[in-house]
Each structure stands twice: as structure tokens, then as C-alpha cells.
A and B are shown apart, each in its own frame.
Chain A
Amino acid sequence: SQQGEEDPQALSIQEGENATMNCSYKTSINNLQWYRQNSGRGLVHLILIRSNEREKHSGRLRVTLDTSKKSSSLLITASRAADTASYFCATDAVGGAGGTSYGKLTFGQGTILTVHP
């Protein structure tokens, strides 16, 4: 299986409900990031969590990271129809001299979220 696998592949919920997406990865990471993509357009960065962090919040977003299980989750609370999009996790792997990142991210397969009004 690939770095950055996500589940579910698709999620359909009603407005006001919470949406949870999960991401698993294989290698050691410096950080894990979540991105959003609206219908085939460019990706927008949502949140970054470092390997030494366990939980992070940004507005209605909550991200957790469990490095022992190599997994992360993204929770969107009180969802809105405008949250309808594809969500991708991306891992920033440890690599190069001194364990620093060499700059590239590896993206998961993504979760398609549909929020019904």
C-alpha cells in the first residue's frame, strides 16, 4: 500500500454533522499536512501538524496525529455545504542529511466529502 492512504474514499453527510477523515502513512515524518481541493482546482493548505504534536485546532478543523500508529485524522465540525470538496493528507518525510526534509510532500488518495444542505 502507498504512503498516505486515506479512508473513507467518499463521505456523504448532512449539514451540521461532523466529518472525520483518516490518513495512514508508512515512513517517519517531519510533519503531516491536510489540503482541500474544490472540483479539480488547485489545492489549498488547511493545517500542518508536526511530528512532536498530537493535536491541533484551526477554526472548525481538528487534526490528530499518532506517530506510533502512523496515522492522522481530520475532523470538520458543524459541516456546511461549502465544505464539499476533496481532502488530501500529505506527508513530509524525514530524509537527507541530518534528518531534514528535502522538500517534497507525498499525497494520499483523498476523501471526497459531500455535505448536503
Chain B
Amino acid sequence: SAVISQKPSRDICQRGTSLTIQCQVDSQVTMMFWYRQQPGQSLTLIATANQGSEATYESGFVIDKFPISRPNLTFSTLTVSNMSPEDSSIYLCSTRDRAAGELFFGEGSRLTVL
């Protein structure tokens, strides 16, 4: 199993600012994903972070708003740009070491936008 560290664990941000969330995995993994969980809701996939190429975004999510980097097989970042109160959510990094296997999650980054 993979151990995933996310930073920051929580933050309070001002409207209009941007915040970058880091995800560090203790081993090389093929697949990395970023999910959003709005208050009281389920998880929604934002994008698949691809190593060495542009992320693959799900419907409703765009690169300008959620730029993602993945420079290697153990690290990724998600930036939430030009934040508004509607972006207040828990953002979760997850990995999968093989297709049709389980997901491993970080502890999440809880963002509150004022």
C-alpha cells in the first residue's frame, strides 16, 4: 500500500487568491488522481495527474482553474486558482498502483475560502 502525505492539511484563504496543494507518495505510482469533496457531499474526480504530460480533466473542471503538475511518479500538485467561497471543500489526492485495484488516499486538504 502507498502512504500519501498532503500539505497543507487545512487553510483559510481569501477570495481571489490561489493555493497550491502538494501530494507526496512514498513509492512510485502509475496513477494519481485529485478529488474534491464539497461540504456534506461525496467525492468528485477533478482530474487524473499524468506524469510528464498534461492532466486529464473531468467534465466541469478546467486547467485554468485547477492547474495540476506531476513532475515524477511520486509527487503532484493541485492549484486552486482565483478562489471563491464555492471552492471551500476538501481536496483529496489518491493513487492507484494498478488498474482495477483499490485507491489510497491522503488525509485531504480542507480549504475554507472567505
Seen from chain A, the residues whose Cβ lies within 8 Å of a Cβ on chain B are 4, 30-31, 33, 35, 40-45, 48, 50, 88, 90, 92, 100-110
Contact = CB atoms under 8 A, between A and B. Distances in A.
B99 A42 contact: no
A18 B10 CA distance: 35
Interface stretch (B12-20, B65-73, B75-83, B102-110): B102-110
Interface in B3-56: 4, 31, 33, 35, 41-45, 48
B33 A104 contact: yes
A30 B101 CA distance: 10
6 contacts: A33-B102, A43-B92, A43-B103, A50-B100, A103-B96, A104-B45
A44 B43 contact: no
Nearest to A30: B100
Interface residues of B, number: 25
Interface of B: 4, 31, 33, 35, 41-45, 48, 90, 92, 94, 96, 99-108, 110
B53 to A, nearest CB: 15
A2 to B, nearest CB: 9
Nearest to A50: B100
Most buried by B among A4, A101, A104, A110: A104
A103 B103 CA distance: 10
Nearest to B106: A42
Nearest to A94: B100
A41 B105 CA distance: 9
